[in-house]
Amino acid sequence: MAGAYQTGIYRNVLKECGYEETAITERLEQTFETIFYGTEAERFYHEAGDDMAYLEDTGNHDVRTEGMSYGMMVCVQLDKKAEFDRLWKWVRTYMYIPEGPCRNYFAWSCSTDGTHNAEGPAPDGEEYFAMALFFASARWGDGEGIFAYSKEAKAILRECIHKGEPGHPGEPMWEPSNHLIKFVTNMDFSDPSYHLPHFYELFAENAEEGDREFWKQAAAASREYLHKACHKETGLSAEYADYDGTPHAGHQEIFGRHDWYYSDAYRTIANIAMDHLWYDKDPWQTEIANRLQKFYCEEQREHWDGVFLIDGTRLEEKALHPVAIVAVNAQAALAADGSHVKECVDRFWNTPLRTGDRRYYDNFLYLFAMLALSGNYRIYRK
């Protein structure tokens, strides 16, 4: 077994499925251009002043660390340094928390004018910020101040795992006893879609020396956790899950229902596929990707817009993000080797970007799928 980390080979699954390379390149560029520079009804990237920009969650009309970190990852993958720096400066100017128990974290939600809507972080933002910054350092070199990318990334990771220790007030983002990422810092459960073992492998090379063993253990712990969180027959995971992988049914009075396969959870299979592409350390990833594609293509062929319990029980609700489902089912092809790969990829290719108020989440997952399936979601190392 050898992933792209060892081989340097990034599969172009779209080409493998019969699409022309020029058409693939054009679609990828067009997707980026639409999201960043399309019409007011299409884009959600907005420049702010001379040297900053933000990405709006068009469904909630705010700016989230999720979207800002996704945007930075997209930009470093596509060699868009100017946009990357604009986004990062907005993050450091408005989202950074300078004091208190969340010091050196980032407020997970802000208004588009930079006002905080929350005073706490969401761990998925921090892990994407750190990885995007390390890639920026490798691809473009470190600059000065906040643009000393690798220094900023190391500082983020240091806070994530050392808070709660003597001299470090606050709550860590990873549970120290089991190396699992938390959904939020002050609660003892996780979100399967936050688990990025392929990132942690790279953190183990790039973080401060004393933290590297932690990240090696975190990568192993997350791979093990995903076995528990994904249903063995359907491949589906819950949005929130306890540390044993069981769907988390609590806290509904605060967050609403999240023990089902719904919005957050779609990212889980995409992340598993990326870990397989980059590292190929776990044969189970192929099995679970095959099962998820089989579930949709055989058992729920007419109900891709459905909402499910992780055992496959279909509920009355409809998915809030149907294009995202199509995107991740296709991205699963990076790990899958079953009979439904081409069907899932074709369905993705024939699905346009989403329009309307909910386009932000769907179109980001669409763009990530385009990057990954075209061989352009890559590791950058010095």
Q: Out of 66, 85, 239, 275, pick the active-site residue.
A: 66
Q: What is d(CA 291, CA 168) in angstroms, rounded to the nearest whole number?
A: 43
Residue 100's pLDDT band (boundaries 50, 70, 90)? very high
In a domain, 188, yes or no: no
pLDDT at 276: 98
pLDDT at 1: 74
Burial class from Cβ neighbours inside 10 Å (0-12, 13-18, 19+) for residue 44 reads buried
In a domain, 192, yes or no: no
Question: The tokens 């055989």 sit on which residue?
Answer: 298
In a domain, 209, yes or no: yes
What are the pLDDT digits (tens) for 116-169? 999 999 999 999 999 999 999 999 999 999 999 999 999 999 999 999 999 889
Q: Out of 62, 127, 264, 282, pick the active-site residue.
A: 264
Q: What is the mean pLDDT of residues 55-81?
A: 98
Phi-psi region of 155 (alpha: psi -120 to 50; beta: other; left: phi over 0): alpha
Domain boundary among 133, 154, 172: 172
On whether the CB atoms of residues 214 and 230 are closer than 8 A, the answer is no
158 and 17, same structural domain? no
Write out the residue range of the structural domain in which residue 297 sits: 1-43+198-237+264-382
156 and 75, same structural domain? yes
Determine whether 66 is an active site residue.
yes
310 and 203, same structural domain? yes
144 and 227, same structural domain? no
Whether the per-residue pLDDT at 53 is higher than 80: the answer is yes
232 and 353, same structural domain? yes
Residue 12: which CATH number?
A: 1.50.10.10
Q: Is the pTM of this model over 0.95?
A: yes
Residue 270's pLDDT band (boundaries 50, 70, 90)? very high
Q: What is d(CA 342, CA 333) in angstroms, rounded to the nearest whole number?
A: 8
pLDDT at 107: 98
Q: What is d(CA 50, CA 103) in angstroms, rounded to the nearest whole number?
A: 27
* Residue 44 in tokens: 């959600």
Residues 6+ apart with CB under 8 A from 200: 215, 216, 218, 219, 222
380 and 363, same structural domain? yes
Nearest Cα to Cα of residue 373 among 326, 347, 334, 340: 334
Length of the chain equals 382
83 and 215, same structural domain? no
What are the pLDDT digits (tens) for 6-39? 999 999 999 999 999 999 999 999 999 999 999 9
